């Protein structure tokens, strides 16, 4: 496994400066935003696909620092009922696939997307319960009329360009847990796998260790995000985990995103890293920062320190067992 970072953390810095920070921290991989919600501050597929000299220089800057691209990220909603949004995110997805092919990058990361409830919707509708029966009917319509046809088509496109996609299970989209991730893979193609982010699982009361094992058993573990979640026990006891308050209302929310080790225990993160090694995961541990209580630099530094320790411990353990 190689420690890396999702470079949107440093989206306000020039590309080369961001690469220098990452390289000096001793990291080995970068995940680059190419569109969708993360944006494309450092990597603009349309420009790079149409200008060979820009593409060569782009690659050169990464290679000079001994870094490699773990993934290109176009986390968006290509199933959005607003055609302006879905068309834009779909185009960004396909351009990202084409750029990955040119760069020799095996994996792109994104969301499954979420449609509306019918042909006439204006906004996405995420179904969280089966009753009243309307919700079950909406869910069936979404999968059969939107989700499966779209991703079957994209699976063929991915295959044609020898790229695979890692879907990040994320509440608010149709793929939000193991069951829905594996359903999408089964229905649409085995070049559709998982970008595993424990932070979205913790607050749903899912066990990342068991989830990693199940996903790995299906050969679907393609990429990994290192991000944490802190649960406020008092707020959760009063209101449950389905919390719609803004993320910056930290005091009153049931949960918030945190830097690695500041939500769940360090021991929990060591178990997660150990499990990744046990199932044979060889990819990137890509640090993601969405901690509203820490600056980017502080969260980045603390995550690097904790994960380096966990990875070193596992490397030593591997040598001992060998």
pLDDT for res 153: 98
* SS3 call for 188: helix
pLDDT for res 58: 98
Q: Compute, in degrees rounded to 10, the torsion defined by CA atoms 95, 97, 98, 104.
A: 140
As a whole number of angstroms, the distance between CA 304 and CA 311 comes to 10
Q: Which residue pairs from 60-66 have beta carbons closer than 8 angstroms and sit at least 24 positions apart in sequence?
A: 61/15, 61/16, 61/19, 62/19, 62/30, 65/19, 65/20, 65/22, 65/23, 66/23, 66/28
pLDDT for res 322: 38
| 48: its two tokens | 């790079």
- Pairing outcome for strands 2-6 and 164-167: unpaired
Q: Give every CB contact of residue 261 below 8 A, 6+ residues apart in sequence.
A: 228, 269, 302, 303, 306
As a whole number of angstroms, the distance between CA 125 and CA 114 comes to 7
Please list the ranges in the chain whose pLDDT falls under 50: 317, 319-322
Q: Which fold has domain 2-321?
A: TIM Barrel (3.20.20)
Could you give the C-alpha distances from 164 to 69, 94, 102, 143, 235, in angstroms and in order?
Answer: 14, 12, 14, 21, 40
As a whole number of angstroms, the distance between CA 225 and CA 157 comes to 25
pLDDT in tens, 135-146: 999 999 999 999
What is the pTM assigned to this prediction? Answer: 0.95
Among residues 198, 234, 245, 194, the alpha carbon closest in space to that of 215 is found at: 194
Cβ atoms 103, 69 nearer than 8 A = yes
Sorted by where each begins, the domain ranges of the chain are 2-321
* Helix locations, 37-177, DSSP H: 45-49, 52-64, 83-103, 133-141, 148-160
- Pairing outcome for strands 228-231 and 255-258: antiparallel
As a whole number of angstroms, the distance between CA 215 and CA 41 comes to 31
pLDDT for res 315: 56
pLDDT for res 64: 98
pLDDT for res 122: 97
As a whole number of angstroms, the distance between CA 11 and CA 9 comes to 6
Could you give the C-alpha distances from 71 to 4, 68, 101, in angstroms and in order?
Answer: 10, 9, 11
* SS3 call for 222: strand
| 14: its two tokens | 């020039």
pLDDT for res 292: 96
pLDDT for res 321: 41
Q: Give every CB contact of residue 307 below 8 A, 6+ residues apart in sequence.
A: 3, 226, 260, 269, 273, 285, 287
pLDDT for res 313: 59
As a whole number of angstroms, the distance between CA 155 and CA 8 comes to 26
| 251: its two tokens | 């005091």
| 144: its two tokens | 């059969």
Among residues 75, 39, 72, 74, the alpha carbon closest in space to that of 58 is found at: 72
């Amino acid at each position: 496994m190689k420690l890396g970072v999702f470079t949107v953390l440093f989206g306000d810095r020039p590309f080369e400066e961001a690469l220098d920070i990452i390289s000096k921290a001793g990291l080995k991989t970068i995940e680059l935003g190419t569109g969708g919600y993360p944006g494309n501050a450092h990597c603009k597929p349309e420009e790079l696909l149409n200008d060979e000299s820009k593409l060569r220089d782009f690659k050169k800057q990464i290679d000079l620092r001994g870094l490699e691209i773990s993934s290109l990220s176009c986390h968006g909603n290509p199933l959005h009922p607003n055609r302006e949004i879905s068309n834009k995110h779909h185009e960004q997805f396909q351009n990202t696939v084409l750029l990955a092919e040119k760069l020799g990058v095996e994996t792109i990361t994104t969301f499954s997307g979420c449609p509306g409830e019918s042909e006439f919707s204006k906004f996405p509708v995420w179904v969280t319960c089966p009753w009243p029966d309307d919700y079950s009917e909406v869910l069936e319509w979404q999968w059969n009329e939107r989700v499966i046809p779209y991703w079957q088509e994209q699976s063929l496109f991915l295959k044609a360009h020898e790229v695979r996609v890692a879907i990040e299970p994320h509440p608010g989209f149709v793929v939000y847990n193991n069951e829905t991730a594996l359903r999408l893979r089964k229905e649409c193609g085995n070049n559709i796998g998982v970008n595993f982010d424990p932070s979205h699982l913790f607050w749903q009361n899912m066990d990342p260790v068991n989830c990693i094992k199940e996903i790995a058993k299906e050969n679907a573990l393609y990429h990994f995000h290192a991000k944490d979640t802190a649960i406020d026990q008092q707020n959760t006891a009063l209101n449950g985990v389905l919390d719609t308050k803004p993320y910056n209302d930290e005091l009153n929310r049931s949960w918030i995103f945190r830097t690695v080790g500041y939500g769940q225990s360090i021991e929990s993160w060591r178990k997660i890293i150990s499990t990744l090694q046990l199932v044979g995961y060889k990819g990137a541990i890509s640090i993601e920062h969405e901690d509203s209580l820490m600056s980017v630099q502080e969260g980045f530094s603390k995550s690097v320190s904790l994960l380096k320790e966990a990875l070193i411990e596992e490397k030593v353990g591997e040598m001992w067992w060998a």
